[in-house]
Amino acid sequence: MLGTDFLLHAGILYPIYTQDHPFLLDNTLAFYLIPIGYASFLISAGLIYWLVWQLQFETGGEAGRFSLVFGTTMWGSLILGLFSIANAPFWLLIGWFIGQSVEIAIAGYVMGTKLDNYLTSEHHAINRNVLIYVIICLISGIIIQNLYINL
């Protein structure tokens, strides 16, 4: 979730966050409040973990598909609600919808795969693959952001 979020918001959607808009906080204040946003990931990840555990999916793919539908439904309803009452930029809402839906799906896939392979040697390979994915996303986000800054 963290890697995908960084790639999307610090990289791809960077220009939207740097625009002066009454819906968004000042960049400095928003930067200091990032930990609160990431705390929300813990809540989402905890819910997805509980659902994946309770529903006992056979594979990570099944858990990922369920989580994609769950995330799309939840974030879709939230974005529609925000669109109806807030002056948030349209592309920011679309970015949030896509990003959060994908993040929830990835979380469900990884958790389902980990639960499915917990007692096997694949358990450590999954940790390694997730770490590599996060590092690639962080590096890509930084590169994309710098490309925007240097334009």
> What whole-number distance in Å separates Cα of residue 40 and Cα of residue 138?
19
> What whole-number distance in Å separates Cα of residue 110 and Cα of residue 4?
13
Residue in 133, 139, 138 with CA at minimum distance from that of residue 110: 133
Q: What domain range includes position 113? A: 2-149
Most confidently modeled of 77-81, 121-125, 126-130?
77-81
Q: At what angle do helices 90-116 and 122-149 cross, to 10 degrees?
A: 160
Name the percent of the chain lying above pLDDT 90.
32
Q: What is the pLDDT of residues 64-121, one digit of tens each?
A: 999 999 999 999 999 999 999 989 888 889 988 998 999 999 999 988 888 776 656 6
Instruction: Return the pLDDT at 10.
Output: 78
Mean pLDDT of 22-45: 84
Between 81 and 127, where is the model more confident? 81
> What whole-number distance in Å separates Cα of residue 94 and Cα of residue 40?
19
Instruction: Return the pLDDT at 80.
Output: 95
Number of folded domains that form the chain: 1
